[in-house]
Structure 1
Amino acid sequence: MHYKTHIKYFLFYSSVILISIFVCLFWGSFKISFTETLEVLFSVFKKENGPFSIGKQIILNIRLPRVIFAGLAGAVLSVCGVCMQGITGNDLAEPYILGISSGASAGAVSAIILHFFSIFSPFNIYMGAFLGSIFAMGGVLILNGKSRDPVKLILMGVGVNAFFSALTTYMIYSSKNEAQVRSAMFWTTGSLSGIQYADLILPAFALLALVIIVLLLNKEFNLLLLGLESAVETGLNINRVRFAVVLVTSAAVSVLTAKAGVIGFIGLIVPHIGRKFIGVMHRPLILWSAVFGASGLMIADTFARTMFSPSELPISVVTGLAGAPLFIKISKKSF
Structure 2
Amino acid sequence: MTSGGDPVLRRRRGSARVAVLFTVLVAGLVVASVASAAVGQFDIPVSQVVGSVLSRAGLDVLAAPGDPFAEAALWDVRFPRVVLALLVGGVLGICGALMQGCFGNPLAEPGVVGVSSGAAVGACLSIVFGWTFLGSFTTPALAFCTGLLTTLAVYVLARSKGRAGVVTMILTGVAVNAVAGAAISFLVFAGDQAAREQIVFWQLGSLAASRWVHVATIAPLVAVCVVVALLLARRLDLLALGDRQARHLGVDVEVLRLVTIVVVAIAVSAAVSYSGIIGFVGLVVPHLIRMITGPGHRVLIPASLLGGALLLVSADLLARNAFDYADLPIGMLTALVGGPFFFWLLLRTRRREGGWA
Q: Normalising by structure 1, report the TM-score.
A: 0.86
Letter in 1 for 2:320: R
- Once the two structures are TM-superposed, the CA of residue 136 in structure 1 deviates from its matched residue by 3.5
CA positional deviation for 1:313: 1.2
Pairs within 5 Å for 1:91-102: 91-102=106-117
Label 1:225 to 1:185 Cα distance change in 2 as closer, same or farther (>3 A): same
| 305-314 vs 161-170, which moves further | 161-170
Number of residue pairs matched? 330
| 1:89/1:228 contact within 8 Å kept | no
In structure 2, the CA distance between the partners of 1:327 and 1:277, relative to structure 1 (3 Å rule), is same
Identity of aligned residues (%): 30
Answer with 1 or 2: which has the greater Rg. 2
Distance change (3 Å), C-alpha of 1:313 and 1:168 = same
Greater mean alpha carbon deviation, residues 219-228 or residues 165-174: 165-174
Q: Which residue of 2 aligns with 1:188?
A: 203
The secondary structure found in structure 1 opposite 2:328 is coil
Quick one: which amino acid aligns to residue 204 of structure 1? A
Q: Return the alpha-carbon distance in structure 1 between the equivalents of residues 76 and 137 of structure 2.
A: 24
Matched, 1:301 2:316: yes
Aligned counterpart for 1:28 among listed residues 23, 40, 46? 40
Contact 2:234-2:298 at 8 Å conserved across structures: no
Aligned residue in 1 for 2:8: none
Matched residue of 1:215: which SS? Answer: helix
SS in 1 for 2:259: helix
Q: Is the 8 A contact 1:144 1:156 kept in 2?
A: no
User: What's the offset of the Cα at 1:122?
Assistant: 7.0
1:73 deviates by 0.4
Q: 1:171 aligns with which of 184, 187, 191?
A: 187
Matches within 5 A, 1:1-335: 12-46=24-58, 52-114=67-129, 118=133, 124-141=138-155, 142-143=157-158, 147=165, 149=167, 156-176=172-192, 180-334=195-349, 335=356
Unpaired stretches in structure 1, ≥5 consecutive residues: none
Which runs of 5 or more residues in structure 2 are unaligned? 1-10, 350-355
CA–CA separation in structure 2 for the residues paired with 1:298 and 1:163? 32
Quote the Cα distance in structure 1 between the aligned partners of 2:159 and 2:327. Answer: 38
Separation in 1, partners of 2:107, 2:56: 40
| CA-to-aligned-CA distance 1:199-241 (integer Å, 9 cap, x gap) | 1112211221111212222221111111233223434212211
| Aligned amino acid, residue 142 of structure 2 | G
Distance 1:206 1:64 in 2: 20
Q: CA deviation at 1:84?
A: 1.0
Q: CA RMSD in A?
A: 3.1
Deviation at 1:284?
0.8
> Compared with structure 1, are the counterparts of its residues 155 and 314 closer, same or farther at alpha carbon in structure 2 (3 Å cutoff)?
farther
Instruction: Please list the CA deviations of residues 53-93 of structure 1 after superposition, one character each: whole Å capped at 9, or x if unmatched.
Output: 43333222211110110001000001011111111111111
Give CA deviations for 1:235-282 in whole Å, capped at 9, x if unaligned.
421221122112221111111121111010000111001001111111
Q: For the Cα contact (< 8 Å) 1:77–1:293, is it kept in 2?
A: yes
Cα distance in 2 between the residues matched to 1:211 and 1:230: 26
TM-score norm. by structure 2 comes to 0.81
Q: Secondary structure at the match of 1:263?
A: coil
